[in-house]
Amino acid sequence: MINKELSIAEVDRVIEMAWEDRTPFDAIAFQFNLKEQEVIQLMRGSLKPSSFKIWRRRVSGRKLKHGFPDQKIRFKSPNQK
C-alpha cells in the first residue's frame, strides 16, 4: 500500500493524470510526490483488475508517460482550475 496520505480528490486527480496520454509520470511525481511504482500501486488498488490491465498495457513503454527529456514538465490539464 502507498504510505502517502492523499485525499479522495487527490487520488481521483492522480488516476485522471495517469490515464491522460500526455501527462508524464514525472509530472505526477512533481505534483503529488508519488514515484512511478507508487502510481502503479495506486492504480492497481483503485481500478478494477480489467481496467488496470488495460491501463498497464496502454502506458507500458509509452515514451510520453516517461517524460519529455528536452521539454519543461507539463502537468496541468485544461480541465484543471
Higher pLDDT, 3 or 48: 48
Of 55-59, 60-64, 65-69, which range is least confident? 65-69
Q: What is the pTM of this model?
A: 0.73
Say what angle helices 25-32 and 36-46 make with each other, to 10 degrees: 90
Q: Where are the alpha helices (DSSP H) in the chain?
A: 8-19, 25-32, 36-46, 49-59
User: CA neighbours within 13 Å on the CB side: how many for 33?
Assistant: 5
**Residue 1 has what pLDDT?**
45
Q: What are phi and psi of 17, to 5 degrees?
A: -65, -35
Average pLDDT over residues 27-31: 93
Look at residue 6 and tell me whether its pLDDT is greater than 50.
yes
Of residues 29, 28, 40, 50, the one with CA closest to residue 2: 40
